[in-house]
Amino acid sequence: MEMVIRDMVMEEDSQCVLQIINQFNNEPINLETFKHNHNAYNHSPIIKRIVLEFSKRIIGFGFVVSDTPNIPQGFLFEKIFVDVQYQREGFGRIIESVLWNSVIDAKPKGIQTIVNENNPESKRWAEKYGFVVKKFQFESVLDLTSQSHLSIEEKLKQHEKNGLFIKTMMDYPGDENFERLCNFFISLQKDTPDCNGTEMGTDMAASLLKTFYPENIILAVTNNRWIGMTVMFNRNENEIYNFFTGTISEMRGKGLAKALKLHAISKSIPLGYIRMRTNNLSTNYPMLSVNKKLGFVQQPGKLILTKGLDWS
């Protein structure tokens, strides 16, 4: 039987690749979200996406990228998927060996990957090739059908009485405001426990933020000053994903993150979404506490693994 390994063609291969990836998601993502996630990597100086075909069918997908959010400085991020029907047959190792050429060219300090908590086989496979579990990421889901839209609106009106206004990037059009957004996002991102002090580059921030609809980039504003933001995107027809929430340091502990998330919830309910999903590192105690108070329920999470590399 013929086996072919080739570069992925985004428009032609995405649907087949998505079918494989959704075998490992707690809740399937749609095609738009898959493309959204990978378009966010377009800034990366190093990016390699490959598919493995077996008997003229795509059964595996892998990619390696540089300069992505939430990875250690100087590391690459790598992820490999093999259709469950073809696992334990060496296809993952074949994909990894092809991606290794890009790793050799970059000579990074190491590689980071991520596997589902409820997929011990992937964990064992990664550990076999030198990866070590470093962090745990909680995945949490909020049932939007149980939320009272009117009650949320009343709470948000009280914030307005106190001088806090919620805007979106629809209220701030133009290149100058987008540049302002990028800088604001970078300043918030580097201080969040999820990012461990890693500062995002301007190109990365711009590439990432361009993938979100302006109405889904929500800003907390007081006296014309941006003091916090939250971002979300459509994950599938039933589910919205809360990608990021951050506030300036002097406003932490004052309920601002909760207010931003409440607005995101309020905005999502009339659009017909029935769930909101989010992820946070186990060390991000403040945000996990906010999520719990809002009614988020923890789901099987993800293990973050790294492998150091020595090029001397």
289 shares its domain with 180:
yes
Q: Which domain holds residue 30?
A: 3-138+303-308
What gap in Å lies between CA 94 and CA 203, rounded to an integer?
32
Which residues partner with 305 through β-bridges? 113, 133
| Residue 76 DSSP one-character state | E
CA angle 271, 272, 275 (to 5 degrees): 110
CB atoms within 10 A of CB 283: 12
pLDDT for 197 equals 60
- Strands 239-247 and 275-281 come out as parallel
Share of the chain above pLDDT 90, in %: 71
Where residue 79 sits, what CATH number does that domain have?
A: 3.40.630.30
For CA atoms 173, 179, 183, 186, the dihedral sign is positive
Contact at 8 Å (CB) between 263 and 232? Answer: no
Residue pLDDT, tens place only, 53-88: 999 999 999 999 998 878 888 999 999 999 999 999
113 shares its domain with 230:
no
Q: Which residue has the tokens 């914030």?
A: 159
82 shares its domain with 168:
no
Intra-chain end-to-end CA distance of the chain, in Å: 40
Contact at 8 Å (CB) between 260 and 229? Answer: yes
pLDDT band at residue 43 using 50, 70 and 90 as cut-offs: confident
195 shares its domain with 261:
yes
* pLDDT above 80 (res 199): no
Mean pLDDT of the 166-189 span: 96
Phi/psi of residue 139, each to 5°? -110, 130
Mean pLDDT across the chain, nearest whole number?
91
154 shares its domain with 291:
yes
Residue pLDDT, tens place only, 99-117: 999 999 999 999 999 999 9
Number of domains in the chain: 2
260 shares its domain with 118:
no
